[in-house]
Amino acid sequence: MTSTDRRRGSILFLALLLCLASLKGLQAQPNQPFVESVDVQVVEVDVVVTDRKGRPVKGLAREDFELYVDGQPVEIANFYESAILLEQPASRRNRERPVVRSGDIPGVANENALTVVFYLDDPNIYPSHRTRLLRRLENAVEPWRSMDASFMLARFVNRLEVLVPPTPDLNAILEGAASVPKGSPRAIQNGEGARRFAIRSLIDSYEFCRQAPYCRPCEDNWGELLSLARQYADNQATNTAIAADGLADLVTTLAGVRGKKTVVYMTNGLPQRPGISVLDYLGSELCRDERPSAPSETMAEIVQYDESRRFNRISAHANANRVTFYGLDAAGVRSASTDISLDNPRLAPSFQNVSLMAMNAQSGLHLLAHETGGKALINANDLSILLADMTGQLSASYSLGFVAEQRQLGQVRQISVQLAPGADKGRRIAYRRTYRDKSLDERLAERLLSVAYLGNPENPLEAAVEFGDTKLLEEKIHELTVGVNVPAESVLTLPGKDGAPPSATTQIRLWMVAVEDENGARTAVRQKAITVGGAAGVAAKDGNYRVEVAMNLPEGDYQVAVGIRDETTGLTSLIREPVSVPPE
């Protein structure tokens, strides 16, 4: 039996069920349509359980957990213990051994799949740290060969770059890492070099004033000192915002990937309060004795530089899309020694100030990890130790699913998970703290964007996409005709009002987006509802419904992603095709 025959049989069976279920309703209310779309959303909450020493706890049951939404208990409808480790892992010597995964089995839903993303925040990783970690990557990820997962490699430099899309082939990740472009020189400017320059500027200004007659550095020169500290804080806040935007883009790209996504976010820091160490140095060390109000004045400035809201928005975005962050501090074991290269070591920042800088750099990693159910991977130079910590966390993972009955689209809901009495025993749990109800339109758009950037199309409707000629509209802007063909036998037509014949109209929904190959820029996601069949809809020709849509694009190479959904059955096809818009 061919796939078309199986699909035709399933569609006819669905039609029969719908007709039988609706006969009574048709007799009672002959003027009412009998097809009603029911969108049931099961929310999966991934929970990690460890003991007092951080070791994974396995073998727990559904009864060992209690789940709350906005403070109210909810029933755990689905429960399973995540088995990410294969019983017979592929060794380094046997890398070609085929591994059967649930996502490879026809008809098996892939909502329980795991995707591990290795993400390089290049503008914020020192080149030396980056090189050290990438050189150790092959040994560090060797245990991942035992994971039932897909892997992905991406980096951020001005925009998100997907270097290796999701694949079960870990070797592809290692090859991609070996050929990854060099890091950004901005990392040196954005990191400790910028802080050292700011400290030196403060000392130079302080010393210059003190050498001038009748000049009190922390009184007469306070405005300039404060301006220098603010300049550093502003620059660091801008860098942090750019890094946060990169994370948001990554989450958006992963939103349509089925199952849970784990992001290993490698960076030299994500400060929750940009500039805090320089402002603290100015108020609590450099000018503390000469200006009694300096500590309180700089503290007022520090309060203004707070990225907590931004990070919480990213966390909520990640939680809505089942993305967990494991923030990896590329600096490893941070030294708290003072800077002896300063011209005046007497004025060098104290041990406490250097420690404050280090804690602030890691604070954003802690926040993102805590809110999304992950962990901050810090204070170790050995990448194997850090990734083993993450793998241990994942091996102690459970999924608690509940049905969102009282749906409030767009609203962030609070989640709380507790171990039942008798199961706690001093154990610790980590889980995503929020979720957000998303509309069907939003979920479909997310899946389309993921296909556009990452590939992995799916086409149960057996639709086809083809491109017509381009037409110049204005300078460098062309109109591209996109033709979509959907086999008439792939969509289900049902009787309409008053028992209209089976040739009555039905609807399919189209939505599409174009992503430029060179810089990753994308168009807005466009949607269009199309009536097909019957006298009022698009007629079938040669067994296909054909719809043409015009897209306006600048010249360049693109990936065009098209989604087609049969609104009656919910069957959805997602297709990606390359196209070039030549100059004219």
Tell me the C-alpha distance between 417 and 429, whole Å: 8
Rounded Cα–Cα distance for residues 221 and 207 (Å): 11
**Residue 31 near residue 427, CB atoms below 8 Å:** no
For residue 22, which phi and psi values (nearest 5 degrees)? -105, -5
| Rounded Cα–Cα distance for residues 548 and 440 (Å) | 24
- With CA atoms as reference, report the closest residue to 432 among 312, 561, 579, 288: 312
475 class by beta-carbon count within 10 Å (0-12 exposed, 13-18 middle, 19+ buried)? exposed
Higher local confidence (pLDDT), 92 or 560: 560
Q: 506-516 and 526-532: which strand pairing?
A: antiparallel
Angstrom distance (rounded) from CA 55 to CA 461:
46
Q: What is the pLDDT of residue 504?
A: 61
* Amino acid, res. 462: E
pLDDT at residue 563, rounded to an integer: 95
Q: What is the pLDDT of residue 338?
A: 61
State the SS3 of 420-469: CCCCCCCCEEEEECEEEECCHHHHHHHHHHHHHHHCCCECCCCCEEEEEE
Residue 97: what pLDDT? Answer: 34
Q: Mean pLDDT, to the nearest integer, of 309-327?
A: 95
Pairwise CA distance, residues 148 & 391, whole Å: 12
Question: Rounded distance, CA 239 to CA 233, Å?
Answer: 10
| pLDDT band per the 50, 70, 90 thresholds, residue 411 | confident
How far is residue 354's CA from residue 336's CA, in Å, rounded to a whole number? 5
At residue 44, the 3 state secondary structure works out as: strand
Contact, 91 vs 99, CB < 8 A?
Answer: no
- In sequence order, the 6+-apart residues with CB closer than 8 A to the CB of 436 are 316, 319, 320, 410, 411, 412, 413
Mean pLDDT (whole number) for 143-152? 91
Task: Give percent above pLDDT 90 in the chain.
Answer: 58
Q: Band the pLDDT of 285: cuts 50, 70, 90.
A: very high
pLDDT of 40 reads 61
Q: How far apart are CA 436 and CA 328, in angstroms?
A: 26
31 versus 508: the higher-pLDDT residue is: 508
Which residue type does 390 have?
A: M
Say yes or no to pLDDT of 29 above 50: no
Per-residue pLDDT at 14: 38
Given a cut of 50, whether residue 420 has pLDDT beyond it is yes
pLDDT band of 34, cuts 50, 70, 90: very low
pLDDT single digits (tens) 512-531: 999 998 888 889 888 999 99
Q: What pLDDT score was predicted for residue 16?
A: 33
Per-residue pLDDT of 172-200, as tens digits, reads: 999 999 998 877 666 666 677 888 889 99
Distance CA 307, CA 367 (A): 11
